[in-house]
Structure 1
Amino acid sequence: MMGKCIQKSCVHVSAACLKKKTPAEKRWLARQLSDPFVKAAHSQDYRCRSAFKLIEIDDKYRILKPGLSIVDCGAAPGAWSQVAVQRVNSTGESAELPKGSVIGIDLLRIAPLDGTQFLCSHDIMDPSTHMELERLLPEAQADVILSDMAPNASGLRELDHENLVTMCLSMLDLAERVLRPGGSLVCKYWDGYLAHNLQQRLSLMFKDVRTVKPKASRKESAELYFLARMFKRR
């Protein structure tokens, strides 16, 4: 449920290793190694360059604050959870600030992260996962739901778009169950013919819905994000 993220072990690539790679793999690796956000992720110890997408969104819109409860959907490898931990003070490192909480969900295994409780091998589309979240969340409610999740690529752009929108809609079912009134949601989608349907559903649930494309989201990518704020509980 996640995009490719270059790991630290990939920075130093031997000539023998390069020879074994396909031309497409070589192009991808070359792009990663020259990417300033990949370099920044290494230097700042983030698990993936995608951390900077959330950082940019939050720097501008201030949705993550100390003391808030966060649900990170499709959390692997944990970069967005890292940002959330820092900004809601879920480790309690800043004793003078309220202590928040972060719960990450993914089908994949995620390495432990201080300040986060990961629900691995959990499907965000499964109602049993929703029930588990209600049990774990303070007062059974979240202040912010984040999603950088994506389906495994099929190679068919329209099908991938449809699958991601379906996942986002399932996340909205979760929002209706656990999101606190006035809460916020950030979800990735790939531009396509169903994006308007997703936006309409969000507009029914939130007072403010807008499309954002962070600088860390590559220009050639169809990747966009909906930022929805001020949740309206039915």
Structure 2
Amino acid sequence: MGKSSKDKRDAYYRLAKEQGWRARSAFKLIQIDEQFNLFKDVTRVVDLCAAPGSWSQVLSRVLIKGEKFGRTAWEEQHQKEEAQIKAHLDNIAPPPASETKPEPPKKDVKIVAIDLQPMSPLEGITTLKADITHPSTVPLLLRALDPDAYDPSSTSASHPVDLVLSDGAPDVTGLHDLDIYIQSQLLWAALNLALCVLKPGGRFVAKIFRGKDVDLLYAQLKLVFKDVRVAKPRSSRASSVEAFVVCTHFSPPKGFQASLDTPLGAGRKLPIDPELAPQKAKSGRTVREDGITELELSEDEEELDEARWIAPFLACGDLSGFDADASYHLPKDRKTLDPIQPPTAPPYKRALEMRRAAGGAHGKTKGQG
């Protein structure tokens, strides 16, 4: 989380520090869960591109500690208040404190977080420093998920996971076409890892950049998931092209074998039987006497646009909540809070050290001028 004036006026930036989250992106996962109930019956999770750890923090506090946030927490608090009012009106003593104690930490939950950057430890989270685009990450992940039952010759988990998350994004360049392409490759790597560890019926949530040909991405995900939707949390800025694809009911084709060498089990081309391949009518081109060219399109080309499939788009979060694009006035009595978890190894650390050695901030140097 930054320190600019706009960041300080960002409601979610301030709420994240007040509520103890490592980054404002924690609210995105909470709001997606409110809409899709992601954490229902989930005990095994893989969090890709996890640093600085806000999504892993949500997983730890929800799945391990049993805490509730967002709409679920509000509904539970509302029910308690109604029960207290009813007990007061009926002159009934309120329930003893022992009945309202938080749930004990769950011990059967397994969460593995992976990132190229080092991440500070979290309770109940197994962290790995690895590159999700490299094939060597697969055995590391499988070993972390099942240390006792790990088989080096296997490319899939012996005990598959229920949910795979990916909030990764490249360092944007400002060239939108290039950024969207790099993001799609990062998503493709996350999907390939998910195919190795997800159980049938599992869920996959990942960040996407909405571009011109994003429907091709939806169609690829539709090959292995029965339900594919796109979510835009309230805490995600409307001015940003980011969204999150929510895939549920993982159902790989019969005989599917996960492999990074042949993504989706198909490599670069799908095998086609020549005898079963439909005969396509060729397009015609005729030049008239006046020099005008007439094109005769085949039926397949005319119906190409009609065959495109667009995933449903849903807005998540309370519409009466804070606007992520708005700058709210700061109260006069506000207190500046330190970040919950400063970056462990930021890429700009070396540049800051060089600047301090040269004379400090704002480009000033000692002994010059």
Q: What's the TM-score bracket when you normalise by the shorter of the two chains?
A: 0.7 to 0.9
Which amino acid is the alignment partner of residue 124 of structure 1?
I
More strand, by proportion? 1
Residue of structure 2 equivalent to 1:230? 249
Residue 114 of structure 2 aligns with which residue?
A: 105
Residue 44 (1) aligns with residue 10 (2): no
Match of 1:119 in 2: 128
Which residue does 2:57 correspond to in 1? Answer: 82
> Unpaired runs of 5+ in structure 2?
67-101, 147-157, 254-369
Q: State how 1:196-207 maps to structure 2 within 5 Å.
A: 196-207=215-226
CA distance in 2, matches of 1:96, 1:222: 37
Distance 1:69 1:154, change over 3 A: same
Question: 1: distance between equivalents of 2:111 and 2:169?
Answer: 20
Q: How many residues align?
A: 208
- Equivalents in 1 of 2:105, 2:206: separation in Å? 31
Please list the CA deviations of residues 138-158 of structure 1 after superposition, one character each: whole Å capped at 9, or x if unmatched: 444221010110012222111
Deviations 1:48-73 (Å, cap 9, x if unpaired)?
00000000001221111465111111
1:173 to 192, 196, 199: 192
Call closer, same or farther: CA 1:66–1:99 in 2, change over 3 Å.
farther
* Amino acid corresponding to residue 140 of structure 2 in structure 1: E
From 115, 139, 147, the counterpart of 2:166: 147
The AA in structure 1 aligned to 2:120 is: A
In the alignment, the residues of structure 1 paired with residue 134 and residue 186 of structure 2 have an alpha-carbon distance, to the nearest angstrom, of 11
Q: 1:46 and 1:66 mapped to 2: Cα distance?
A: 24
**Amino acid of the residue matched to residue 117 of structure 1?**
T
Is 1:182 aligned to residue 201 of structure 2? yes
Deviation at 1:97, TM superposition (A): 5.1
- CA contact under 8 A between 1:168 and 1:187: conserved in structure 2? yes
Question: In structure 1, what residue type is equivalent to 2:48?
Answer: C
Q: Distance in 2 between matches of 1:99 and 1:89?
A: 9
Residue matched to 1:133: 141
2: distance between equivalents of 1:98 and 1:77? 24
- Counterpart CA distance in 2 for 1:198 and 1:137 is 28
- Counterpart Cα distance in 2 of 1:132 and 1:217: 32
Greater helix share, structure number:
1
Please give the alpha-carbon distance, in whole angstroms, between the structure 1 residues aligned to 2:42 and 2:29.
18
Please say which structure displays the higher CA radius of gyration: 2
Query: Mean Cα displacement is larger for which, 74-83 or 95-104?
Result: 95-104
SS of the residue corresponding to residue 22 of structure 2 reads coil
CA displacement 1:166-196 (0-9 Å, x = unmatched): 1111111112211111100111011112421
1:160 & 1:171 partners in 2: Cα distance?
A: 17
Give matches, 1:15-94, under 5 Å: 29-65=4-40, 68-89=43-64, 94=103
TM-score of the two chains, using structure 2 as the length reference: 0.53
Distance 1:123 1:194, change over 3 A: farther
1:99 deviates by 3.0
**Inter-CA distance 111–66: structure 2 relative to 1 (3 Å threshold):** farther
Residue pair 2:65, 2:106 contacting (<8 A) in 1 also: no
Long gaps (5+) in structure 1: 11-28
* Cα distance in 2 for residues equivalent to 1:140 and 1:107: 25
Tell me which stretches of 4 or more aligned residues in structure 1 moved more than 4 Å.
none
- Maintained 8 Å contact 2:45/2:161: yes
- Percent identity between matched residues is 36
Report the Cα distance in structure 2 between the residues aligned to 1:95 and 1:86, rounded to whole angstroms. 11
Code of the aligned partner of 1:133? L
Q: 1:62-119 CA distances to partner (integer Å, 9 max, x unpaired)?
A: 111465111111101000000111222179x843856312111111111111111111
**In structure 2, distance between residues paired with 1:220 and 1:159:** 18
- Residues 63 and 126 of structure 1: is their aligned pair in 2 closer, same or farther, counting only changes over 3 Å? same
Amino acid corresponding to residue 129 of structure 1 in structure 2: T
